[in-house]
Structure 1
């Protein structure tokens, strides 16, 4: 929130930051294929995805709207910072516990790819192999923690949105659909190209906007 007059450049900058933060909601996309592969009955996967997307969308809209209606211009980046009293401690503890318990799930796809690059994906290495795998995972977690500890939250989320979430949400789906499905209709190809183009333009803008206001 910036009181008083806001120049058009500042409005554009805030819009870029806001959009790059909002697109982080797509961070769960890398989990789609691993979850489907682990399902006993993959035929139910479309219904599960649609239900989860609907529930997530409703939750985001309700929580975001309620927070703003309650605190207006004093709304903090973390709505939990606006809460006071004993109840707020419970809410913050529950939020921290949620992040702690879901972090391994979010880390899994990246860790699998990293272990393959480092040659640690083999399972026949015995105890030594397991130690190296644990060391790599611990190092990745500690590195992410150290970076997040000293980075401004708004800019960190915007940077993650520009570097990670925008490609996951717009660029990769469009490219993969064009390459793997080869849509025959002009409308389908146009939609894929529009997604890719938007992502290619949005990603650098979001990254630059996050870095410019980094403080």
Structure 2
């Protein structure tokens, strides 16, 4: 994970450097002002569904905390990571206003190849961690454990990886991300935390209860919207 994080942030730094260079060149070449327009349509809903996937890592929050040698340091760590991630998303969104669908398509030459290779390496190195919660749930449903032996567990994991690979081949990336956002990220990031806090902590009044209800309501509305928009725009 250390190598994956290092590679990921190096690629982010390269992309930000290229974005900054382009902005400076545009300023000195007097390209002109950017025309900011707001258009609402099916693509907007699909974008919202994809944006929610930014919370995809919330599924590994509890497993990571349980695996830490110093769990008491977890709140500080997750707050710092969320703040850093939010700043990174905001910087990309504000500065990269003239990009293609995938940011790597805006790069040329060796920089593009290097960034893409680095992203591939990052995915390969982080996939086991992202895969872990789903695998634990699947093995629990199948009744597999250490006593079941190595072969059944490996077979179940292999089938899950192959299923994910097949879906990535035949499903458009943006629609697949929209479905993942509506079916997985929205419940994990908005509905379940607010609902569990309401049920377990039972705040009767105040900002806590209002925030929980707002999160649950937003998730209940956003989940079907994300799924429907991803299906309707399927191509």
1:64 Cα deviation from its structure 2 partner: 3.4
- 2:151 corresponds to: 131
> Match of 1:42?
71
Please give the alpha-carbon distance, in whole angstroms, between the structure 2 residues aligned to 1:187 and 1:54: 22
Task: Name the residue aligned to 1:87.
Answer: 111
1:188-199 pair list within 5 angstroms: 188-199=208-219
Instruction: Check whether the contact 1:77–1:154 (CA below 8 A) recurs between aligned residues.
Output: no
Does 1:112 pair with 2:112? Answer: no
C-alpha distance in 1, partners of 2:96/2:123?
20
CA apart distance, 1:135: 0.8
RMSD (Å), alpha carbons? 1.7
Given that residues 162 and 203 in structure 1 are in contact (C-alpha distance below 8 angstroms), is that contact kept between their aligned partners in structure 2?
Answer: yes
User: Which of the residues 201, 206, 211 maps onto 1:181?
Assistant: 201
Hey, what does 2:20 align to over in structure 1?
none
- Among 173, 176, 180, the residue aligned to 1:156: 176
- The 3-state SS of whatever aligns with 2:128 is helix
SS at match of 2:96: helix
**Structure 1: gaps spanning 5 or more residues:** 1-5
- CA shift at 1:14, angstroms? 2.1
Q: Distance in 1 between matches of 2:124 and 2:92?
A: 21
| Counterpart position of 2:40 | 11
- Equivalences, count: 199
The Cα of 1:62 is off from its aligned counterpart by 2.1
Q: Deviations over 1:39-75 (max 9, x none)?
A: 111111110011111111122222333332xxx2xx2
Q: CA deviation at 1:184?
A: 3.4
Which residue, out of 107, 122, 128, partners 1:98? 122
Q: Which residue matches 1:3?
A: none
TM superposition score normalised by structure 2: 0.80
1:56 is the counterpart of 2:76: no
Looking at structure 1, the residues matched to 41 and 217 of structure 2 have their Cα atoms a distance apart, in angstroms, of 19
